[in-house]
Amino acid sequence: MAFDSEPLSIASSKGQVHEFTVELALTPPQLELGLMYRDKMPADHGMLFDFGTSRPVMMWMKNTMLPLDMLFLDQKGVVTHIQENAVPYSEAIINSGGPVAYVIELNAGVVKKLGLAVGDRVTSATISAKLGK
């Protein structure tokens, strides 16, 4: 399955801006597949899941080989919850902790390495397009 990609920035509360290239999971099949069955991802890459509306989200790591950090975002692109070091192949449910519009998956350890935190602001063309509506 093919995924389009775009640049994405995360602005930390400390004033730092971190740049990534994210693949876009937009359709139901893409949302379901996500990063499953991949054994590597470049350090500055990730995946942005766009759920189309703000709602509680549950993720899992079934068939996902890569340990991941997950950032849960509201409709404005603000990080509301973070799950670090999601365990490969785990079927444990990872809950968004409330309604979210987006999830970003990054390689495990990126959140700690960059000091990302709840309240950080994410921008990308996909998020910005919905803010204009």
What domains, with CATH codes, occur in the chain?
5-131 (2.60.120.1140)
Rounded to an integer, what distance in angstroms lies between the CA atom of residue 76 and that of residue 88? 29
pLDDT tens, residue by residue, 73-115: 999 999 999 999 999 999 999 999 999 999 999 999 999 999 9
Kind of pairing, strands 17-25 and 45-59? Answer: parallel
Query: pTM for the full model?
Result: 0.96
Beta bridge mates, 104: 48, 71
pLDDT tens, residue by residue, 48-80: 999 999 999 999 999 999 999 999 999 999 999
Residues 6+ apart with CB under 8 A from 62: 36, 89, 90, 91
